[in-house]
Amino acid sequence: MTLETFSGTFGLWMGAALTLCIFSFLYKDNPFYRFAEHLFVGVSAGYWLVYNYWNIVKPNLIDPLREEQWQYLLPLVLGIFMLTRLFPNVGWLSRWAIAFMIGSGSGIMIITYLQSNFLEQIKSTLVPLDPTGQPWYVVVNNVILLVGVVSGLVYFFFSKAHTGVTGRIARIGVVFLMVSFGASFGYTVMARISLLIGRLYFLLHKCVGVI
């Protein structure tokens, strides 16, 4: 058996063993599950540490400093300040870095969200309702979209009591919100089921060879 064949076989059965260790939690919490969980967390932490260094820290900080771009000393200092939280005597320095990060990040994200979420959402809601020149199902879809947006906004309008016409529109908004939440929850469940199917296929096809 060559080294390549051995490594492939070893990785295959190691993956199967760790998968069964995770599935063992369906019975109850046990040392096998905790071992697989801790191993996953440790490997993930190590992977993202190496990934962030080579793809973020090195190209965006170390390489510019080697090229004598001294303006990058500011993020270096702020990054060191973040690490001072590990030392109680100088931990207050981390507040400067956190304040700078929150302030600059908020300023950037306000513009981004204003353009991508707020304005684009309004633009997507301004749909044509004239049936001339477009299929009927497009008009129906636009009407449903408009009713859902307006009724949903009325539901979150708490300056007026939800009685009478306002209450009826708000109840329609609740229906649209529940449908939206249900669809999101269903998508999440579907994604988890897909992961389960992938693991079962891995065990039954590649390891056992049943399918």
- SS3 annotation, the chain: CCHHHHHHHHHHHHHHHHHHHHHHHHCCCCHHHHHHHHHHHHHHHHHHHHHHHHHHHHHHHHHHHHCCCHHHHHHHHHHHHHHHHHCHHHHHHHHHHHHHHHHHHHHHHHHHHHHHHHHHHHHHHCCCCCCCCCCHHHHHHHHHHHHHHHHHHHHCCCCCCCCHHHHHHHHHHHHHHHHHHHHHHHHHHHHHHHHHHHHHHHHHHHHCCCC
Threshold 0.95, pTM exceeds: no
Per-residue model confidence (pLDDT) at position 119? 86
CA distance 69 to 93: 24
- 194 within a domain of the structure (yes/no): yes
pLDDT category, 5, cuts 50, 70, 90?
confident
The Cβ of residue 81 has, within 10 Å, a number of other Cβ atoms equal to 19
Per-residue model confidence (pLDDT) at position 194? 95
Check residues 209 and 30 and name the one with the higher pLDDT.
30
Per-residue model confidence (pLDDT) at position 1? 60
Sequence letter at residue 72: Y
Domain that holds residue 190: 130-211
**Residue 191 predicted with pLDDT over 90:** yes
Q: Is 173 exposed, middle or buried (0-12, 13-18, 19+ CB in 10 A)?
A: buried
- 120 within a domain of the structure (yes/no): no
**Residue 77 predicted with pLDDT over 90:** yes
Q: Which two tokens stand for residue 149?
A: 């947006």
CA angle centred on 105, ends 97 and 52, rounded to 5°: 70
- 40 within a domain of the structure (yes/no): no
Q: Mean pLDDT, to the nearest integer, of 175-181?
A: 95
Q: Which two tokens stand for residue 83?
A: 């690490």
The Cβ of residue 175 has, within 10 Å, a number of other Cβ atoms equal to 13
- 167 within a domain of the structure (yes/no): yes
Structure-token match 């497009």, residue found: 138
Domain count, the chain: 1
- 29 within a domain of the structure (yes/no): no
Average predicted confidence (pLDDT) for the chain = 90
- Those residues whose C-beta lies under 8 Å from the C-beta of residue 37, and which sit 6 or more positions away, are 22
Q: Which two tokens stand for residue 145?
A: 């979209």
CA distance 13 to 5: 12
